[in-house]
C-alpha cells in the first residue's frame, strides 16, 4: 500500500499469476466453524478468500480501495523476471510472478463454509485501516520521559 501511495507508475501491469489470499475475518470465521462443526474433528483445512487474484488484479483492486488510480505499466512478465534475475533478485521475481494457490473445495464442501468477507471488502477494510494509521501522529521515541 505504501508503494501504491508513493509511486506514480507500477511496472507489475502484465503479470498473469494466480494467488490465494485470506482476510483475517475469514480466517477467524473458519476457525470458529471448525471448533463447532462435528465434521472438522481430526481434519486439515485450507483457507482463502475464495477468489484467486493475479498480482496485476491485486494492485488494481488495492489502488481502487485506496482511492488511487491504478497506473500499471504493461511490461511483459518475462521481461520483469529476467531483469530481476539479472540483478540477483530471482526470489523476488518468483514471489511477484509465481502462483500460490490453495484449493478450499474440501473446506467448502465438508463444512458447508463460505468466506463471509469478499476480497474487495477485505481490501477496502485493509486500505481504510492503513490510511487511518497514516493520519495518526507518530510517537517520537528519541525523547524519554
> What does the alpha-carbon distance between residue 25 and residue 87 come to, in Å, rounded to a whole number?
38
Locate cell 463471509: which residue? 116
Compute CA 133 distance to the chain's CA centroid, rounded to the nearest angstrom: 19
Q: Which of 58, 46, 53 is nearest to 99 (CA)?
A: 53
The region, left, alpha or beta by phi > 0 then psi within -120 to 50, assigned to residue 40 is: alpha
Question: How far apart (Å, rounded) are the C-alpha atoms in residues 18 and 48?
Answer: 13
pTM of the model: 0.77
The three-state secondary structure class of 72 is strand
pLDDT per residue, tens digit, the chain (145 aa), is 877 777 665 666 677 889 999 999 999 999 999 999 999 999 999 999 999 998 888 888 988 999 888 777 777 878 878 888 888 887 887 877 778 899 999 999 999 999 999 999 999 999 999 988 877 776 656 555 5
- CATH hierarchy code of domain 2-22+46-132: 3.90.25
Question: What are the extents of the domains in the chain?
Answer: 2-22+46-132
Amino acid at each position: 500500500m505504501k508503494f501504491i501511495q508513493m509511486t506514480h507508475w507500477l511496472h507489475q501491469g502484465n503479470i498473469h499469476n494466480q494467488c490465494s489470499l485470506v482476510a483475517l475475518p475469514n480466517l477467524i470465521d473458519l476457525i470458529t466453524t471448525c471448533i463447532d462443526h462435528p465434521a472438522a474433528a481430526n481434519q486439515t483445512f485450507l483457507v482463502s478468500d475464495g477468489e484467486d487474484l493475479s498480482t496485476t488484479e491485486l494492485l488494481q483492486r488495492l489502488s481502487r480501495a485506496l482511492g488511487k488510480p491504478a497506473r500499471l505499466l504493461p511490461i511483459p512478465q518475462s521481461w520483469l523476471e529476467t531483469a530481476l534475475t539479472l540483478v540477483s533478485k530471482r526470489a523476488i521475481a518468483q514471489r511477484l510472478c509465481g502462483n500460490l494457490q490453495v484449493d478450499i473445495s474440501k473446506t467448502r464442501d465438508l463444512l458447508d463454509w463460505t468466506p463471509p468477507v469478499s476480497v474487495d471488502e477485505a481490501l477496502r477494510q485493509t486500505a481504510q485501516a492503513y490510511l487511518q494509521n497514516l493520519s495518526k501522529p507518530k510517537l517520537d521515541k528519541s525523547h524519554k520521559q
